[in-house]
Amino acid sequence: MLDFPRWKTIGISIILLLGILFAIPSFLPSKTFDKLPGIAQIKVNLGLDLAGGSHLLLEADIDDLQKTQLANMEKTVRAAMRGERGPDDDIAIGELSTAGGKISFLVRDQAQLDAARERLFSETQGAGLTGQRDWTIEVVDTTRIVMTPTAAGQKQAIAGAMDTAREIIDKRVNALGTREPTIIRQGDDRIVVQVPGLQDPQQLKDLIGKTARLEFRMVDPNADPNEAAAGRAPVGSEIVPYAEGASAGAPFEVLRRQVMISGEQLLDAKQGYDGQSGQPVVNIRFDSGGSATFAKVTAQNVGKRFAMVLDGKVLSAPNINEPILGGSAQISGSFTVASANNLAISLRSGALPVKMTVVEERTVTPELGADSIRKGIIAGIVATVAVLTLMVLVYGRFGIYANVALFFNIFLIIAIMAAFNATLTLPGIAGFVLTVGAAVDANVLINERIREELKRGRRVFQAVELGYSEASRAIFDANVTNVIAALLMFWFGSGPIKGFAVVLTIGIATSVFTAVTVTRLFAARWLHKTRPTTINI
Amino acid sequence: MRLLKLVPDDTNIDFLKWRKLASAMSFILVAISIALVAVKGLNLGVDFVGGQSVRVEFPQAMPPIDEIREKVSHIGLGEPTIQQFGSDKAVSIRTALPEGDKTVADRAGKQLVAGIRKAFPTAHTGSVETVSGKVSGELISTGALSLALAMLGISIYIWIRFEWQFGVGALGRLFHEVALTFGFFAVTQLQFDLNSIAALLTIVGYSLNDTIVVYDRVRENLKKYRKMEIVPLLNLSINETLSRTVMTSVSVMLALAMLLIFGPDVIFGFTAAMLFGVFVGTYSSILMSTPVLVWLKVGPHSFVPRTSAASEGAERVQRKDDGAVV
């Protein structure tokens, strides 16, 4: 055990040297760090509880998604029954209902039933690997068609919506100009958003929580205001409330159900100011298709009003004084600069396919984080000094070896964390301190064993050799149990606890190397050099 | 230089003599802990009950707690739980989760922060946490699951590495330590949250660390002294490992105590729980880990040579018996 061939000594020295080299960048102030060449820019990440920032867990509103899907399928059914080749091609239907999450309608002419089925079938898609479709089509009572969404189809729809939602949230958060946000999907219906260094997450939450479904619709000029006030709208129209503070008059408008232009046809959206009132507004530009539609519709409807509807609320309903050509428009409402900017970002990044709700939020200000780091480092230094002193007092020379090993251990933990881009959290600092206390355990075991063997009358060489070999079994078993606990923390724990588990796991692995191998190298070199007949341990 | 000895050389304390008393004591302590948790309950944080928690820092002296309570209860989120941190400038204000759908947690969080800023314009909100009822339910189940799995996994590992009796002993000890730590949270009313689960898992890992060192020595001695009675053999094993147990515990407790005194108050409860767990672990590894081996009738036959590892041990018996002092 005490013989170290040259290659082994060199190998150990290289590992220790690399450890120190990899750890150094993490200690540098960020200004110096940024000047390093790219290859040397490896650093331990700070968790949100140390760097400050927001952790948000968003959950999709699956009911809302299913409602939207149902509404879309209803539109598809109507369009499919209308036929492509003029009125002769129409299939007359009636009693269409969407109750119970199903679409059900009557085919008036029984002879057209098979044709209707065929048209609908071509509108459904395969879902999953079993050859299932996303909707089933059944004929009930010989004249009624019932369409039901399948589980596989819904699963696929949710997965697709979540992927899109993640991309859109990513775009929106990046548009805020924050540094290094993390946006990842979690489970079936959740998205985690982590943004470091944020002082107030409210703007972030407002931004990502907004669905931003923009629609341009015509105001129904034939609606009777009294009927509307009683909650009744003409066929093909509906009552849409105004957004908070957006209306000076009635709290709602009666709008045509048909959407003239939707948010997907936008090319760009920017926050600006109204030329006359100086109020913050959002200037939008349509793509070519949108521009053409907008020009056509406004030309046909001069003198009438259209409404800009965002997430089911009317923002404004201006009069069309002349056809709007050129494909740009101005959205006004009761905006502040910040809310207009938020809307512009949301519109640019597209509508969320599903409503998202914040179900968990953890925010730490950068000041509190910095305070935690400062106190954590002080505590770490004091704890290390206390343990080092104790080790020297109890084990003398062998205590010093253990202490040097402990220093290498600290560097190695930081180096490995930096190399794997791991995150240091506040419980992680506690993990560090605990590791300092526990890392010496291996040396305690070894040194106690050496003492014992000396007491049994063994010579120095043999005692040290047996000390290392006999203690290593217990060291191994004891550390495996700690790794089991740490792995479970890593699997089940959330952010900060994961950070604790990471430090603990790395610390256990490196401490076995430094406390056993490195101290043995020191001890072996000293013994070979001085050949002592007694040792003070 | 004369070296410090935390434990004198060649101790020969009859620890097993107290095994009935110690076990009875432990049973009573576990029972008291369970009763405390049942009667006083745990001060569950937002992680486990949902709701919102805001850390408020005051630039100058803090207003009296009653004033804070009074003002916060007017925000309309019910009676707040207010907890003071180490310093006299920061408090944690927590309100319960209001009834309603999953959007209420987020809305209530917003309302609480706004309300606090209005009531105390100079104060500063250091951290905000809001957790909805659904998420807190999930955190409870994953927390409980990870704790149970850790206890089970470690016991199974010991069963595989040693013998089943040792696995049972380990599991019993883990239960003891976890129960007592729960009792500690009930008595101190320190907030019990996700960090507390991490503290418990650390205690579980650490406590086993100690047990394994003792068990490893028991195994070694069982192979070495095949004729020795089990009780003196266990006593010998504990005495032989005593100075290591004390030294490691002292160094870990020293490190944790420094963290408790100088460290950030945000993790005060986390550190306090670990310190308590290590303390309990130390006395229980000396007094509690071995009696179960007597009752489960562990003896030299438990390690009948059957693997190459065991025969290696047998060879060591020969080699060492001449030098060994019993």
Q: What are phi and psi of B58, to 5 degrees?
A: -105, 135
Cβ contacts of B248 within 8 Å, gap of 6 or more: A438, A440, A441, A444, A445, B210
pLDDT for B317: 43
User: Bigger pLDDT: B24 or A200?
Assistant: B24
Enumerate the β-bridge partners of residue A147: A103, A137
How close A96 comes to chain B (CA, Å)? Answer: 31
How close B102 comes to chain A (CA, Å)? Answer: 7
Q: What are phi and psi of A126, to 5 degrees?
A: -65, 145
Size of interface A-B (CB pairs under 8 A): 232
Residue A356 inside a domain? The answer is yes
Name the packing angle between helices B164-188 and B268-287 (round to 10°): 140
Q: A270 near A344, Cβ under 8 Å?
A: yes
| Chain B 212-271, residues with CB within 8 Å of chain A CB atoms | 212-213, 216-217, 220, 240-241, 243-244, 247-248, 250-256, 258-259, 261-267, 270-271
Average pLDDT over residues A424-428: 85
Q: B97 near B108, Cβ under 8 Å?
A: yes
Quickly count: other Cβ atoms within 10 Å of residue A125's Cβ.
Answer: 11
Answer yes or no: do A359 and B132 touch at CB < 8 A: yes
Are residues A344 and A215 located together in one domain of the fold? yes
Chain A residues lying within 8 Å of B250, measured CB to CB: 390
Least confident span in A127-136, A163-172, A235-244, B236-245: A127-136
Q: Which of B1, B161, B270 sits opposite A430 (nearest CB)?
A: B270
Distance from first CA to last CA of chain B, Å, rounded? 29
Q: What are phi and psi of B130, to 5 degrees?
A: -130, 135
Are residues A406 and A512 located together in one domain of the fold? yes
pLDDT for B316: 40
Are residues A524 and A423 located together in one domain of the fold? yes
Residue A190 inside a domain? The answer is no
Quickly count: other Cβ atoms within 10 Å of residue B265's Cβ.
Answer: 18
Give the chain A residue nearest B54 (alpha carbons).
Answer: A363
Enumerate the β-bridge partners of residue B55: B92, B127
Residue A180 inside a domain? The answer is no
Are residues A372 and A310 located together in one domain of the fold? no
Chain A residues lying within 8 Å of B212, measured CB to CB: 474, 477-478, 481
CA distances from A528 to A3, A439, A531, A532 (A): 9, 26, 6, 9
Per the listing, tokens 């949710």 go with: A158
Answer yes or no: do B145 and A427 touch at CB < 8 A: no
Answer yes or no: do B266 and A372 touch at CB < 8 A: yes
Are residues A30 and A70 located together in one domain of the fold? no
Chain A residues lying within 8 Å of B128, measured CB to CB: 201, 361-363
Least confident span in A91-95, A459-463, A507-511, B37-41: A91-95
Q: Which of B174, B200, B169 is nearest to B298 (CA)?
A: B169
Chain A residues lying within 8 Å of B109, measured CB to CB: 361
pLDDT for B87: 65
Task: Provide the token pair at A2.
Answer: 């005490």
Answer yes or no: do B126 and A479 touch at CB < 8 A: no
Q: Hey, is the C-beta of B200 within 8 angstroms of any chain A C-beta?
A: no
Are residues A109 and A33 located together in one domain of the fold? no
Q: Which of B243, B171, B257, B181 is nearest to B213 (CA)?
A: B243
Answer yes or no: do A444 and B247 touch at CB < 8 A: yes
pLDDT for A185: 92
Please state the three-class secondary structure of A46-107 as a single string. ECHHHHCEEEEEEEECHHHHHHHHHHHHHHHHHHHHHCCCCHHHCCCEEEEECHHHCEEEEE
How close B297 comes to chain A (CA, Å)? Answer: 23
Give the chain B residue nearest A202 (alpha carbons).
Answer: B110
Residue A355 inside a domain? The answer is yes
Task: Provide the token pair at A86.
Answer: 């003029």
Answer yes or no: do A359 and B134 touch at CB < 8 A: yes
Answer yes or no: do A357 and B6 touch at CB < 8 A: no
Share of chain A above pLDDT 90, in %: 10
Q: Hey, is the C-beta of B323 within 8 angstroms of any chain A C-beta?
A: yes
Quickly count: other Cβ atoms within 10 Å of residue A184's Cβ.
Answer: 11
CATH of the domain at A79: 3.30.70
pLDDT for B321: 43
Are residues A84 and A223 located together in one domain of the fold? no
Are residues A407 and A477 located together in one domain of the fold? yes
Domain count for chain A? 3
In this predicted structure, the answer to whether residue A47 has a pLDDT above a threshold of 90 is no
Averaged confidence pLDDT in chain B: 83
How close A300 comes to chain B (CA, Å)? Answer: 43
Residue A376 inside a domain? The answer is yes
Residue A124 inside a domain? The answer is yes
Answer yes or no: do B204 and A434 touch at CB < 8 A: no
Query: A315, A338, A362 — which closes off a domain?
Result: A362
Are residues A428 and A357 located together in one domain of the fold? no
Q: Give the alpha-carbon dihedral of B46, B51, B55, B56, to 10 degrees.
A: -160
pLDDT for B320: 42
Average pLDDT over residues A315-328: 84
B309 — pLDDT class (breaks 50, 70, 90): very low
B313 — pLDDT class (breaks 50, 70, 90): very low
Chain A residues lying within 8 Å of B324, measured CB to CB: 456
In this predicted structure, the answer to whether residue B273 has a pLDDT above a threshold of 90 is yes
Are residues A301 and A424 located together in one domain of the fold? no
pLDDT for B302: 73
Tens digits of residue pLDDT in B150-205: 888 888 888 888 888 888 888 888 899 999 999 999 999 998 988 888 888 888 88
Ordered DSSP codes for B154-218:
HHHHHHHHS-HHHHHHHHHHHHHHHHHHHHHHHHH--EESHHHHHHHHHHHHHHHHHHHHHHHHH
Average pLDDT over residues A237-250: 80
Are residues A293 and A337 located together in one domain of the fold? yes
Tens digits of residue pLDDT in A398-407: 899 999 999 8
| Chain B 275-314, residues with CB within 8 Å of chain A CB atoms | none
Residue A193 inside a domain? The answer is no
In this predicted structure, the answer to whether residue B28 has a pLDDT above a threshold of 90 is yes
Tens digits of residue pLDDT in B230-268: 889 999 999 988 988 899 899 999 999 999 999 888 888
Chain A residues lying within 8 Å of B254, measured CB to CB: 383, 386-387, 390, 437
Average pLDDT over residues A470-489: 83
User: Bigger pLDDT: B133 or A1?
Assistant: B133
- Domain holding A11, by residue range, is 6-52+365-530
Residue B313 to residue B166: CA distance in whole angstroms: 19
CATH of the domain at A375: 1.20.1640.10
Ordered DSSP codes for A331-365:
E-SS--HHHHHHHHHHHHH---SS-EEEEEEEEE-
Query: A335, A362, A389 — which closes off a domain?
Result: A362
Answer yes or no: do A493 and B198 touch at CB < 8 A: yes
User: What are the helix (H) ranges across B225-290?
Assistant: 230-262, 268-287
Q: Which of A365, A456, A474 sits opposite B325 (nearest CB)?
A: A456
Tens digits of residue pLDDT in B114-126: 888 888 888 888 8
How close A13 comes to chain B (CA, Å)? Answer: 28
Chain A residues lying within 8 Å of B135, measured CB to CB: 57, 359-360
Which domains can be identified in chain B, with CATH numbers? 15-42+137-318 (1.20.1640.10), 51-131 (3.30.70.3400)
B276 — pLDDT class (breaks 50, 70, 90): very high
Averaged confidence pLDDT in chain A: 85
Give the chain A residue nearest B155 (alpha carbons).
Answer: A481
How close A168 comes to chain B (CA, Å)? Answer: 21
Q: What are phi and psi of A119, to 5 degrees?
A: -60, -40
How close A485 comes to chain B (CA, Å)? Answer: 5
Q: Hey, is the C-beta of B315 within 8 angstroms of any chain A C-beta?
A: no
State ipTM: 0.82
Average pLDDT over residues A18-24: 88
Q: Give the alpha-carbon dihedral of B178, B184, B187, B190, to 10 degrees.
A: -110
In this predicted structure, the answer to whether residue A56 has a pLDDT above a threshold of 50 is yes
pLDDT for B186: 95
Least confident span in A532-536, B277-281, B309-313: B309-313
How close A330 comes to chain B (CA, Å)? Answer: 31
How close B39 comes to chain A (CA, Å)? Answer: 28
pLDDT for A8: 86
Are residues A123 and A27 located together in one domain of the fold? no
Chain B residues lying within 8 Å of A51, measured CB to CB: none
Q: Which of B149, B217, B263 sits opposite A376 (nearest CB)?
A: B263
Chain B residues lying within 8 Å of A484, measured CB to CB: 150, 153-154, 157, 205
Cβ contacts of B240 within 8 Å, gap of 6 or more: A452, B217, B221
Tens digits of residue pLDDT in A165-206: 898 888 888 877 776 788 999 888 999 998 887 767 777 887
Task: Provide the token pair at B62.
Answer: 């803090």
Cβ contacts of A159 within 8 Å, gap of 6 or more: A188
B15 — pLDDT class (breaks 50, 70, 90): confident
Answer yes or no: do A492 and B146 touch at CB < 8 A: yes
How close A83 comes to chain B (CA, Å)? Answer: 43
pLDDT for B318: 41
By 3-state DSSP, what share of chain B in percent is helix, strand and coil, each rounded to 5?
Answer: 65, 10, 25
Q: Which of B129, B202, B244 sits opposite A485 (nearest CB)?
A: B202
Query: A362, A395, A425 — which closes off a domain?
Result: A362
Chain A residues lying within 8 Å of B4, measured CB to CB: 393-394
Q: B174 near B252, Cβ under 8 Å?
A: no
Q: A362 near A61, Cβ under 8 Å?
A: no
Chain B residues lying within 8 Å of A446, measured CB to CB: none
In this predicted structure, the answer to whether residue A123 has a pLDDT above a threshold of 70 is yes
In this predicted structure, the answer to whether residue B38 has a pLDDT above a threshold of 90 is yes
In this predicted structure, the answer to whether residue B307 has a pLDDT above a threshold of 70 is no
Average pLDDT over residues A209-218: 83
In this predicted structure, the answer to whether residue B325 has a pLDDT above a threshold of 80 is no
Q: Which of A365, A395, A484 sits opposite B153 (nearest CB)?
A: A484
Interface test with B, best of A55, A433, A447 (most B CBs within 10 A): A433
Chain A residues lying within 8 Å of B251, measured CB to CB: 387, 390-391, 437, 440-441, 444
Give the chain A residue nearest B321 (alpha carbons).
Answer: A456
SS3 A328: strand
Helix (H) or strand (E) holding B57: strand B51-57
Residue A198 inside a domain? The answer is no
How close B109 comes to chain A (CA, Å)? Answer: 9
